[in-house]
A = this chain, B = another copy of it.
Amino acid sequence: MSDTDVAEQPSDMLYSSASRRTFFKRAAATAIAGGALVACSDSDAQKKLAGKADASGGTTAPNPAPLSTAASAEAMDRMHEAGIKAFPAKTEGKGNQLMQPVMDKGVKVYDITAEAVKWETEPGKKVEAWAYNGQVPGPQIRVREGDKVRLVLHNRLTESTAIHFHGLELPNNMDGVPFITQPPVKPGESFTYEFTAPIGNHGSHMYHSHHNAAKQVGLGLLGAFIVEPRRPSASERADIDYVMILNDGMHGYTLNGKGFPATEPIVAKMGQKVRVRFMNEGMMIHPMHLHGMHMTVIAKDGWMQPAPWKCDTLNVAPGERWDVIVDCNNPGTWAFHCHILPHAESDHGMFGMVTALIVA
C-alpha cells in the first residue's frame, strides 16, 4: 500500500466501496459456521469477540501489559484493518483477460498492440506501463494443441520490440529474438507470428518481449499463453482454472498486475477443485504460500510431473510456471501470498503479493 498515513483519517474515506462490502457479505453469508470467515472487519465485531470463546475455542482475555504504547498499536491496527476491508479494491483496468481470437480460414488470429499506458496497480497509484492491448498482464491467450495461430504484433512503442513465446517449441524464425531469429519490430511496424501450437507441448506458457527485455517485460509486455491438451489427464481436471502471474519490477510486487488490496480473490465452492497456474515474470523468486489447504503440484513449465506432490509453499523462480490443484475442502477466507514477508506486509499493513482463496 502507499505511504499515505491512513491512521489519521476515517478508514472509509480511503478504502471503502459498496462493491467491497457486498463482496465480503456474500462470502460471509455463504460460509459455513464454525470454520469460515470471522466477520471481524469492523471494530464492533472485534469487541464482541474479545473476552469470550468463539465456536472453535478462540478467546481473548485481559492481561497486564504496557499501556503507553496502546495508541500507536491501535493506529497500526487501523491501517492493517483498512487495507483488508478495502480488499478487493477497485482500480482502473484489468489485465490477463481471456482474449477471443478472430477466425480466419481455420486460423485463430490475435491482434496485439504494444503501447504505453497509465496503469493503476492499487487505488490511486498510477504507474507508467508498456502494455499489450492496454492490459498488464496482456490478454490471456488460450488455444488447443494443434491449433493454427496467427499473432500480429503492432509496435506503437518508442523502442523496437519482439515477442518470444516462452515454453512453446516453435520453428526458429517464430522464436522472437531480434537479430537471432528475426529483425526487431521497429516503432510503427508490425510483425506476424504464425505457427501451429505444437502437439504434446501443451500447458502453461507465456508470451513476452525479448528485446531490451529487462525493461520491456518489467514495464508490462508479458502475458499468459496457455495451450490446452486435446485429452486432459485426470490429475489436471479442475472446476476453476486460474492464472496467477507474479511480477516484481517497476510496478512493485504484483499479482496479475495489481498489488493488494487491488488483487483479485479466487472464489470457489466447497468441494470444487481450483487449478492455479503460477507464472513468474519478475526478477526474484516468490515462494507462494496458501493457508488452510495444500496444493498438489501437477506440472512444471507445462510438462506434467512424473508424480504429483504436495506442498503449501511453492517456490516460483523467474521464467518458471508451476501448475497446482487445490481441493477446496476447508471453508473460509484464506490468505494466499508470497512468503518473502517484505513482499507482502509492511507496518502499514498487507500490500503487494497478497490475495485470498475464498471457499464458501
Please give the residue numbers on chain A whose beta carbons come within 8 Å of chain B beta carbons, in ascending order. Answer: 31, 34-38, 40-41, 45-46, 49-50, 53-67, 69-70, 72-74, 76-77, 80-81, 84-85, 150, 154-156, 158-160, 164, 166-167, 169-175, 177-195, 201, 210-215, 217-218, 283-285, 287, 289, 291-294, 300-303, 305-313, 315, 317-321, 330-335, 339-342, 344-347, 356
**Chain B residue at minimal CB-CB distance from A210:** B335
Given the interface contacts A172-B37, A174-B58, A181-B38, does A80 sit within 8 Å of B212 by beta carbon? yes
How many of these chains are in the complex? 3
**A285 in contact with B317 (CB, 8 Å):** yes
**B188 in contact with A63 (CB, 8 Å):** yes
20 additional A-B residue pairs with CB within 8 Å, beyond A63-B190, A180-B356, A287-B318: A40-B182, A56-B195, A60-B192, A61-B192, A63-B189, A65-B155, A72-B159, A85-B179, A167-B312, A169-B330, A172-B292, A172-B331, A172-B334, A180-B335, A181-B332, A212-B347, A283-B340, A313-B317, A313-B320, A320-B339
Sampled A-B contacts (22; CB under 8 Å) = A38-B180, A53-B192, A57-B194, A58-B194, A59-B190, A59-B191, A59-B192, A61-B189, A63-B189, A76-B159, A81-B179, A84-B180, A85-B179, A170-B292, A172-B331, A172-B332, A175-B334, A301-B310, A301-B312, A313-B319, A317-B339, A319-B339
Determine the chain B residues whose CB is within 8 A of the CB of A311 once the complex forms.
300-301, 303, 320
State how many angstroms separate the Cβ of A79 from the closest Cβ of chain B.
Answer: 10
**A156 in contact with B194 (CB, 8 Å):** no
Give the 3 A-B CB pairs with smallest separation, nearest first.
Answer: A65-B188, A172-B332, A57-B194
Given the interface contacts A57-B194, A189-B50, does A180 sit within 8 Å of B340 by beta carbon? no
Q: CA of A15 to CA of B62 in the docked complex: distance in angstroms?
A: 46
Q: CA of A344 to CA of B310 in the docked complex: distance in angstroms?
A: 31
